Amino acid sequence: MSMLRMVVSLLCMGILSGGAAAHNDPSRQARSVHLYYMPQVRSPESAMATVKVVETQTNSYFMALGWACGYSGLQDLGDRRVFIFSVWEPGDFLDLKARAEDVREDVRAKALFVAEGVKAERFGGEGTGMKTMVELPWRVGDEVTVRIDSEPEGDERMVFTASIRVNGGNWWKIASLSTICPVEKERCVHNIHSFVEDFWRNGKSAKLSRSAEYRDVKTREKGGDWVVAKGAMFTADTTETDNIDAGPTGDGGCFLKTGGATRNEHVKLWRSFKFMD
């Protein structure tokens, strides 16, 4: 899948774009904003990124790493904060009526390993798949590093494993999830990206700002060296608002910001930019 096709596809997905187009009401929600990183190795076995939440609100999602078959990152649920890691099953990611129970057993994503305290369950409503969630009392300013590793399981299945560490501490293996990846070149951690999403959508959330910084974004092929992303493309969903922004942080990272009094003072939408030399 080309980068352009990936961008278009993700903008149409509810989970990755801030809701279906019918729900993208600028009076209800802040616009979802994304970064698509470059360069990336051709067939990454592993990917890694560090996210630091700068400003948060209830029901915000700061995705650290998304790829062709899944996504992972930090959520602020108001009364608690969590880390979430999910993979999709084959099917229509645009299907908001997709029911997990309708998927044949042999096609379903499976949890091969789940760490103690991590909840695993199937999901529907935005395609179908398997998701895991664990309470993680992250704070504004914490640096949470997310790593996704992949390995083949048979002819079509891939196993994706998520591990995290907070502020440079010990690695914590969260879960290993198996799913079918029918397209051969997507059988890896392919087309990595990040986003900030407001899923509160209550008429007040659009007036509140949320932002995050991202750094140390890199990919690695099997047996190869890590390749560090030095630039990104700035994209957004179809919500018709312009209080969004993105750009370099000046210290080797990049940022996303949306909602409230945010002004687009740095990178313009649909433009690529460098954040490292």
Model confidence pLDDT, tens digit, residues 235-265: 999 999 999 999 999 999 999 999 999 999 9
Could you tell me which of 52, 17, 56 has the C-alpha nearest to residue 255?
52
Name the pTM for this structure: 0.92
Facing residues of 123 across strands? 129
Q: In the prediction, which pLDDT does 94 show?
A: 81
Compute CA 43 distance to the chain's CA centroid, rounded to the nearest angstrom. Answer: 18
Counting residues of the chain whose pLDDT is more than 70, the rounded percentage is: 91
Scanning the structure block, which residue is given the tokens 């891939």?
158
Residue 240's domain comprises: 3-274
Two structure tokens written together for 189: 């951690």
Angle, vertex CA 128, rays to CA 134 and CA 76, nearest 5: 30
Q: Where are the alpha helices (DSSP H) in the chain?
A: 3-12, 14-17
Query: What value does the mean pLDDT of the chain take?
Result: 91
Q: In the prediction, which pLDDT does 23 show?
A: 53
How many C-beta neighbours within 10 Å does residue 38 have? Answer: 15
CB of 99 closer than 8 Å to CB of 83: no
CB of 76 closer than 8 Å to CB of 57: yes
Is 163 a residue whose pLDDT tops 60? Answer: yes
Total number of domains in the chain: 1
**Dist CA 207 CA 198 (whole Å):** 11
Could you tell me which of 193, 198, 200, 202 has the C-alpha nearest to residue 254?
193
